[in-house]
Structure 1
């Protein structure tokens, strides 16, 4: 009897076109024993000149200085100054999300370099309004922009009427700088907390599932969500009623949501600016969440995913851990 030739092992399907260095590493802030030197190095790297964090801070300072109504006008709610904030946010969102979409997806200026997922934006899909993922995402992003504007205007009204305590760099330079350092970490902690709630039962079925229609994401996907989620996303602005701060801190935090969502969902790790220079925009940590769903609920600067067993480091072993977690959930273990 002739022996049958062995079937060669199947080559695993390639999931990603590009990934950053794997496995992903979480910020060392929460390690035990404490690692102060490693935490300092990580913090300094996070403020690199071609990263979003420093860009958001610069944009927040410019926005407050040149494109925000004087707080004296905000003592009463009036159409004029509210419309100015709305118009400025409209221009910001259109410039950032629209600009990234045109560069990366429409005109493909860097083709597929640094692109995570090779699947195209969906067309003819009934799950999206207008049966078009991009048009759907644009519509709901502009809806979300109204909640961004609402929370910002609420804080200007609060400052103008003495509901919130305002500091300046001159009056409290140490706290001013400390807040700038802490805001990105706070934004990640808040994101994990409300994101976990959005993945529960009723909230997922009727609210957050809208956002998860975007298995592959583009810049307009970041704020494409149910209006209830848009409202919740910016609610951490209320922290400034309790914490003394400057309006630059308010704008900086809001930019982590209003601009950070389009950039982190861009679908590309970097945007090439020229020979040897690229701007960091993407967030592969969160891209894994859109692909595998039950992982990476927070950010790379928060410890909760590691502590609760939902951290996916992007490796093949991470894929298997997610599959095993799903198997246990489905089997009721």
Structure 2
């Protein structure tokens, strides 16, 4: 598939999609009901394919790969290890599978790749000198254990009745509503946490590990300092304080644990055997890694538009960004005079 039909590559090897990121119909005024419904139920859209796939994976994991709720009233190494093993397998399958397909086999070469360069292999910035090796280390040795720890505590609390139990048969609409708002809630939580760890010393202490990935790949998605993993996965605490079902907890954690692989894929589209493609929709966040002080959130809730940090990859957005940076630098210089 020819990526020049969908975008263009400049002399520096940066590929830009023709379709610019824009806010979703959730926060468009005046309201557009038809467009909103198409976005919610259409393909691709809010539910399909990724959130529906994650709901299915969450259901499968809860029914077949999670110990019974009654067996988790006390902390025991057996059931904790089972959950850690399952989560490690999911991470290897999703992150490792995408990396193998696009970065080892290089099935589509650099077609639809935002940055034509491949991950660094001899760069002292990274542990072991390798970008991929560092990313795998932080994902598997910190990200997966922290993800598992939040899940283990959730099941222990559910098992002991410390979380108000939701009966799906009695409150099916509430259950579905919790599922539907989960992606939006996580976008809100992510923006707040992300903005916080870009401030002052928190960036250098916590977030710099993640931002070493100027040219991200799948394993970059969950490559973070342990403190950032704790803040990142804390979004699930919402379901500790509201009546919820374990499926709500599982879906929330599945989004946080696995969606970063798509957001950091480094490719705009994944080309299938039949010549068709799946949209990864990672360009908005790729621009954050490229320019640093833009796109702290997501297009679902347009925080960046509201706070003046929106960038859609256009020359106009470049100019606006440079004006902000110049004004910020001038303000800092003036305050120290």
Q: Same fold (TM over 0.5)?
A: yes
Match of 1:257 in 2: 256
Moved more, 169-178 or 70-79: 169-178
Match of 2:186 in 1: 187
Q: CA deviation at 1:92?
A: 0.3
Q: CA deviation at 1:14?
A: 5.3
Q: Deviations over 1:102-158 (max 9, x none)?
A: 100011012222212112101221110001100011000111110000001111011
1:153 paired with 2:152, answer yes
CA contact (8 A) 1:18 1:115 kept: no
Q: Describe the SS at the equivalent of 2:288.
A: helix
Match of 1:283 in 2: 282
CA contact (8 A) 2:209 2:225 kept: yes
Q: Deviations over 1:291-318 (max 9, x none)?
A: 1111110111012111100111221211
Match of 2:73 in 1: 75
Gaps of 5+ in 1: 1-10
> Are residues 20 and 195 of structure 1, via their aligned partners in 2, closer, same or farther at CA, if it must alter by over 3 Å?
farther
Match of 1:221 in 2: 220
Match of 2:306 in 1: 307
Q: Deviations over 1:187-234 (max 9, x none)?
A: 111100100001000110111011100000001101111110011110
Of 27, 30, 33, the match for 2:24: 27
CA contact (8 A) 1:266 1:282 kept: no
Moved more, 322-331 or 136-145: 322-331
Moved more, 27-36 or 314-323: 27-36
* Separation in structure 1 between the aligned mates of residue 280 and residue 204 of structure 2, nearest angstrom: 30
1:206 paired with 2:205, answer yes
> Are residues 171 and 324 of structure 1, via their aligned partners in 2, closer, same or farther at CA, if it must alter by over 3 Å?
same
Moved more, 220-229 or 167-176: 167-176
Gaps of 5+ in 2: 1-8, 333-337
CA contact (8 A) 2:271 2:277 kept: yes
Q: Deviations over 1:73-105 (max 9, x none)?
A: 110011011001000000000111111001000
Match of 1:247 in 2: 246
> RMSD in angstroms over aligned alpha carbons?
1.8
CA contact (8 A) 1:20 1:284 kept: no
Moved more, 309-318 or 97-106: 309-318
Q: Describe the SS at the equivalent of 2:312.
A: coil
What's the TM-score once normalised by structure 2's chain length? Answer: 0.90
What's the TM-score once normalised by structure 1's chain length? Answer: 0.91
